[in-house]
Every structure is written in C-alpha cells, then in structure tokens.
C-alpha cells in the first residue's frame, strides 16, 4: 500500500518544478472548437505565429495552422503532457542545462487546456553540431556523484574545449540514478558545471520509482505512477526535436511493473507514435533515436527488444537511422542494415562504479558524434584518456585465457574496421577476431562472470620478437596505432 507520506513527497517534487514546464499564455484569442480539449498558439519572440509546428499529446498529432494555432481532442485521463517538435530554425530551450520549452503539463481538472509556446528563432541555421551521448551515470550515493563530477563531467568539459564553442546537444540515455529518486536534484546540479548548454534525457529502469507500476500499467495514476518523479524533473518520456538536418526522437522502451520487474520493449501505441511523428518528416532524413535499452545487442543484452525491433526497423526503413542506447554496460555496435546503425555505448559508470571498465572491458566514457548535415562521424571518448585511446593491448601472458597471444580490445569496433599487426616493423597481417571475457573486467570483478565480447583480436608473436605494433583503421579511414615492447 502506498503511504500518504510517499505520495506527498511525490506531489511536492512535482509542484516545485512546475515553473520549468509552464507554457506562456499569449494574448492571442483562440476560437473554441467542438470537442477540443487542448489548444494553444505557438509564436516566436516577436509574437509572430509559427505555422507547421508538429504538436502531440502523447497519442494524437497535429500541426499549427497559419495563425500558429493547434487543436487536439485529447483524452486528459491518458495524456500528461503536450509537447512540440521544435523546428530546426528555432532554439531548443533549456533551464540550467535541462532541455525545456518544448512541453507543458496537462490538467484533467481543466475542461479545456490552453498551452501556448514562445520559441526563440536561431540567429542563423546550423548544419554542424556535436551530439554527446552519455549512458548510465547510475548514481547511488555521494561518492559516485563525486566520481561522475570529477571524472565524466570534468573530462567532457576538456573534450568540448577543443571544439571552439561549436554548438553542442547532449543526450543522457537513462539510469541517471540507481533507484534513488532523491538524487535527481544533485545530479542536475552537477550538469550545471558542464559547458553543454542543453541536455536531453531518456528514462531508464532505475529512474522509475520502484514503488509503482509505470503509467500504462497503473489502474489509478492519481495515486502515483513510476515515471512521476522523473517527469517532474525532465518532462515527457516520448518526444522529438530537430537540430540541423537531423530529426531526434527519444522514447521510453521499458514496460515497468512495481519492484524492478520490467521488459525492454516499445508498446504498440509507442510504435504508432513514432509512425505519426515521422509522417511529418521527409523520407531520407537522418533520424537519431534515443533509447535506454538497445534493440540489437546480441552479446550483452537479453534480447527482450526483439519483439518490437523488427517493427521499429520497418517503420524507419525510409530514413537514415542512428540508435543511441545504454542499459547493458556492455559496448556493442550493430549495423542492422545499411541505413540502421545502433550505438550501444559503454556506461559512464562502467560496471556500476566498481572501477574503470564496463563488463566488456570498454573504458568508462561517452560517445562524441560530429554532425555535418547528413554526414555523421563519431568516436568513443574514454574518461581520463586522450581521444586517440581507442583500444587496449595485452601482452602475451597478461590475458590469462590467451596466454600465448597478444590481444587487443577494440570497443568501438564494427565490421568496417581493419585490424593489422606488425612485428619488429614488418607487417604480419590481420589479427584474428575472437570472443572471450575481457581480462581487465575479470581483474576488477575478482572473478570471471561469463560476459564474453566479440570486439577482441589476437595474434601470436614470434619467440624472438622485440616489438609489436597494432594498427586499427575505423570506418572513417582514421588510423590508430599502439606498440608494446615484449
């Protein structure tokens, strides 16, 4: 049974954050329409109406007319927010680094909800920007919060300082906290120390209040539901925005029941939401999809997303898609088809702040994606390392199960990579790919856990070899070299 005290705390958290959500009512009169329960007007900072803005209530979609007005017949018992897909010509608003200005809460107590939006027009349109993906800070206590601040955030600021103030948008891919809802506030405070202007967020399973089912599985949401505290800090769980030539969609892909029971999947209404959202987007557009759980990780995930992945791929078949996901603490890229690429990146916390690596041996870190129109390039930035640190080498004898071999762990590997090795300056050929558990993870964990990764490569040096050089070339033709003395 839910305690009154728990419910009161949830409500206080909700109301304390409401000013971040509030859409500004303009003085423009909106004519009433029969059956409409949600309407509003969207204008720019000079009070000029903006036509063609896509608006949704979580289920239904529409666009603003030439007067900047929108009208929806919203079921206010099912819809908690109205959100707009901010056009690329306008700024994505933020308040203390958290994205806002694109959504407003709805009230079932109002017969007709009026929610207006005022957008800030960009001084000039952009094609180039940085897209930073961070997964699973998963903060459980003050010690871990300090590590996130001193390691992840500090490293991110150093990385961005090299880009000469290039516009940056960041996405945190869920599990900002580890079931501790009271840590959202200090987490957000840490984000204020970054040079990133705007952070988008995805909900993770540990960001859901485990005292409740999620909204869709709750009989009486007025008594509380799992996403409520998260929403009070970050807004709706399903939304889209636009930047440059890229359309960006964020979705909750967790079917959650009280007490940490959940299934990774998109529901049928969510798949319909994506269809409706994309109906306003020209085929051929580059689309970023932000999820917590990956769609296609075959070694580090539990493949629950299989039930809806094929449907998602079908819906997105006419677009150039990059999926960004976390959840697994296990780095794996998946090129599902030529137009659908998934980045299941390493976690900021690695293996839950136990050390400095993920379950697959990838270092704690984040993904830096460089966007130039439709040209998308990326690299994984290991926390506390140079950007060129893209693989780790084990000498013979260091990787216990491969004692004869020199081994390379290349975390951002995909099938386009070329991995060569040289012995005393002479090319020996391509290294052999194999599957095994990373040695650094075993040492950190204290024992083998069976988490085998495919981004490992090996070769046997000659008995008289003095030096081995490994040369890794990625899909963008960029080459990274590292050498070890034997």
Q: Which of 382, 415, 437 is a domain's end point?
A: 382
> What is the phi/psi pair of residue 337, to 5°?
-155, 175
Does 309 lie in the same domain as 224?
Answer: yes
User: Does residue 481 form part of some domain?
Assistant: yes
User: Does residue 117 form part of some domain?
Assistant: no
User: Does residue 177 form part of some domain?
Assistant: yes
Does 461 lie in the same domain as 315?
Answer: no
CATH number of the domain at 404, please: 2.60.40
Does 473 lie in the same domain as 342?
Answer: no
The predicted pLDDT at position 302 comes to 61
Alpha carbons 225 and 234: distance in angstroms, whole number:
15
The predicted pLDDT at position 17 comes to 35
Does 306 lie in the same domain as 193?
Answer: yes
Does 398 lie in the same domain as 376?
Answer: no
User: Does residue 91 form part of some domain?
Assistant: no
Q: Which of 325, 357, 382 is a domain's end point?
A: 382
> What is the phi/psi pair of residue 250, to 5°?
-120, 135
User: Does residue 92 form part of some domain?
Assistant: no
Does 416 lie in the same domain as 374?
Answer: no
For the record, the structure tokens of 184 come out as 């959202």
The predicted pLDDT at position 21 comes to 38
Does 204 lie in the same domain as 339?
Answer: yes
The predicted pLDDT at position 305 comes to 77
CATH number of the domain at 348, please: 3.60.21.10
Q: Which of 382, 411, 434 is a domain's end point?
A: 382
Does 402 lie in the same domain as 362?
Answer: no
Alpha carbons 323 and 297: distance in angstroms, whole number:
12
Q: Which domain holds residue 438?
A: 392-485
Listed as ranges, residues in the chain with pLDDT below 50 are 1-22
Does 370 lie in the same domain as 400?
Answer: no
User: Does residue 120 form part of some domain?
Assistant: no
Nearest to 202 by CA among 356, 326, 104: 326
User: Does residue 259 form part of some domain?
Assistant: yes
Does 303 lie in the same domain as 240?
Answer: yes
Alpha carbons 294 and 22: distance in angstroms, whole number:
33
For the record, the structure tokens of 269 come out as 């209404």
User: Does residue 121 form part of some domain?
Assistant: no
The predicted pLDDT at position 69 comes to 98
The predicted pLDDT at position 1 comes to 38
> What is the phi/psi pair of residue 248, to 5°?
-120, 120
Does 321 lie in the same domain as 405?
Answer: no
Q: What is the tally of structural domains in the chain?
A: 3
Does 70 lie in the same domain as 183?
Answer: no
């Amino acid at each position: 049974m839910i305690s009154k005290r728990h419910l009161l705390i949830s409500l206080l958290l909700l109301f304390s954050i409401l000013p971040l959500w509030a859409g500004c009512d303009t003085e423009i009169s909106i004519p009433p329409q029969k059956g409409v329960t949600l309407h509003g007007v969207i204008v720019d900072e000079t009070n000029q109406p903006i036509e063609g803005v896509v608006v949704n209530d979580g289920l239904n979609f529409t666009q603003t007319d030439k007067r900047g007005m929108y009208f929806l017949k919203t079921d206010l018992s099912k819809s908690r927010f109205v959100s707009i897909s901010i056009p690329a010509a306008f700024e994505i608003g933020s308040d203390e680094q958290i994205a806002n200005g694109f959504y407003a809460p709805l009230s079932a107590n109002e017969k007709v909800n009026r929610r207006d939006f005022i957008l800030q027009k960009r001084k000039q349109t952009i094609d180039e920007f940085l897209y930073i993906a961070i997964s699973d800070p998963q903060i459980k206590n003050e010690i871990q919060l300090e590590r996130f601040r001193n390691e992840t955030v500090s490293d991110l600021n150093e990385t961005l300082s090299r880009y000469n103030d290039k516009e940056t948008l960041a996405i945190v891919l869920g599990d900002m906290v580890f079931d501790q809802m009271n840590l959202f506030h200090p987490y957000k405070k840490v984000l204020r120390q970054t040079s990133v202007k705007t952070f988008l967020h995805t909900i993770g399973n540990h960001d859901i209040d485990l005292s409740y089912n999620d909204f869709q599985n709750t009989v009486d949401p007025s008594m509380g539901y799992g996403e409520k505290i998260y929403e009070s800090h970050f807004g709706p769980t399903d939304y889209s925005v636009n930047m440059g030539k890229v359309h960006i969609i964020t979705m909750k892909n967790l079917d959650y029941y009280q007490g940490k029971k959940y299934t990774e999947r998109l529901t049928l209404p969510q798949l319909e939401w994506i269809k409706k959202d994309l109906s306003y987007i020209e085929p051929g557009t580059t689309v970023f999809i932000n999820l917590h759980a990956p769609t296609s990780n075959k070694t580090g995930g539990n493949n629950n997303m299989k039930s809806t992945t094929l449907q998602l791929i079908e819906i997105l078949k006419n677009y150039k898609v990059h999926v960004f996901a976390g959840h697994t603490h296990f780095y794996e890229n998946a090129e599902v088809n030529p137009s659908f690429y998934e980045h299941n990146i390493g976690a900021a916390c690695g293996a839950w702040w136990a050390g400095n690596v993920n379950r697959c041996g990838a270092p704690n870190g984040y993904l830096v994606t460089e966007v130039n129109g439709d040209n998308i390039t990326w690299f994984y930035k290991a926390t506390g390392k140079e950007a060129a640190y893209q693989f780790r080498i084990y000498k013979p004898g260091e990787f216990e199960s491969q004692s004869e071999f020199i081994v390379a762990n290349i975390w951002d590997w995909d099938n386009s990579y070329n991995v060569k090795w040289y012995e005393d300056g002479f090319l020996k050929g391509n290294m052999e790919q194999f599957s095994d558990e990373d040695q650094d993870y075993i040492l950190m964990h204290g024992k083998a856990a069976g988490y085998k990764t495919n981004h490992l490569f090996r070769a046997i040096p000659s008995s008289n070899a003095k030096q081995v050089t490994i040369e890794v070339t990625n899909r963008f033709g960029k080459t990274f070299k590292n050498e070890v003395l034997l």
